Copies of this chain bind each other. A is one copy, B any other.
Amino acid sequence: MDLELARQLQRPAESKILLLVADGLGGLPHPDSGRSELETAQTPHLDGLAARSALGLTVPVGSGITPGSGPGHLALFGYDPFRFQVGRGALEALGIDFALGPDDVAARGNFCTLDATGRISDRRAGRIATERSRRIVERLRAVEAGIAGQGVELFVEPVREHRFVLVLRGEGLSDVVTETDPQRTDVPPLRCEPMAPGGERTADVVNRFVGAAAEVLASEEQANGILLRGFARRPSLPAMADVWGLRPASCALYPMYRGLATLAGMTALAAGATFQDQIASVREHWDRFDFFFMHYKDTDAAGEDGDFPAKVSRIEELDAQIPALLDLDPDVLMVSGDHSTPAAMGAHSWHPVPFLLSARWVRHQPDARFDEGHCAQGALGTFPATEALPLAMAHAGRLAKYGA
């Protein structure tokens, strides 16, 4: 739904909407059994819910398009993933809970190994251990000081293994500059160049930082160089409160998903280390908000590992939590994924994602289960993921009639 129309149609109500995103939920048939992860898993609670829910399949971004986590989530939050894009650098910064300011420019950094002639021999510096990487980042912070003080502040933040984030803060910066990572070996890193007028200053700061870093890292055996990609600002999204009149909250264990939710204007709820803890946190804050986004990561991780039985188990573990979720008694409950991650592929995929909407006024099939096949036959059909939130709003009694 067009966000301007949403602003016009939204109306207040007491109802509560709960969106559960099981990351990478959708799957593909196992070559032996012919059954997908969802079809294999024993999921009595999700199946019981499906039998009284409207089912469908969401298309996260478009036919044949494999979404990253950014567009997959933004679509479920009601944002057109083509219009609102989260650059890689910004996403990486969100992923470490870095408070990216509106004028900051962030880039994803890799430590790499350079040979004696300055050519890249390993783009990931042998995937050095996270702890070692942290110590090297500390050394890079000396470089920050050298470059800064000219109206630009620099932040270098460790991520995991060979990855870090570089953030430039100051006036007159631009994210329209080229990457220094040539994305292949046996060539030297590239210089950062402006891609549009106004990028000169940023490119200059970046190149000076890379040069100074090379001096500091010269003594390192593996991580003696850096590569930067995905220069990006924090995108500016209309807040869900303004567009939909909702008081939205998120509960996600991984910073990246919290960060995406924060872009949409959701308040991040803290929680312990398990999905039970997440439910407890949502219960604790139930009265303060009327939209809750809960993120369950484990399905995607198992899918990415190509571990079919593990993904089945993660689905079954989630199923066991459904009764506690239902105890919250939301007026509208949606269960879906941000994209498919079939274990058979071991990667994100473009396949539409099972979607379930439980509310009072739904068209349901009493013999339905929650899996790809039943969702494909569901009353909601196959539809863009951006329509999930408008549907939830309608079912929550939060949209006025259109036209006389």
Which residues does A use to contact B, with CB under 8 Å? 1-2, 5, 9, 28-29, 34, 36, 57, 61-72, 81-82, 85-88, 91-92, 230, 342, 344-345, 348-352, 361-366, 372-373, 376-383, 387, 390-395, 399-404
Contact = CB atoms under 8 A, between A and B. Distances in A.
Nearest to A34: B366
Nearest to A383: B63
A382 to B, nearest CB: 4
Nearest to A389: B64
A344 B372 contact: no
A376 B55 CA distance: 11
A102 to B, nearest CB: 19
A381 B377 CA distance: 9
Contact of A28 (B63, B88, B361): B361
A68 B403 contact: yes
Given A62-B390, A376-B381, A377-B377, 11 more contacts: A64-B394, A64-B395, A67-B401, A68-B403, A86-B403, A87-B404, A91-B404, A349-B394, A352-B379, A376-B378, A382-B383
A361 B6 CA distance: 37
Contacts of A63: 1, 383, 387, 390-391, 394
A61 B376 contact: no
Contacts of A230: 404
A15 to B, nearest CB: 14
A135 B392 CA distance: 47
Nearest to A395: B64
A61 B352 CA distance: 22
A173 B393 CA distance: 38
A403 B85 contact: yes
Contacts of A404: 68-70, 86-88, 91-92, 230
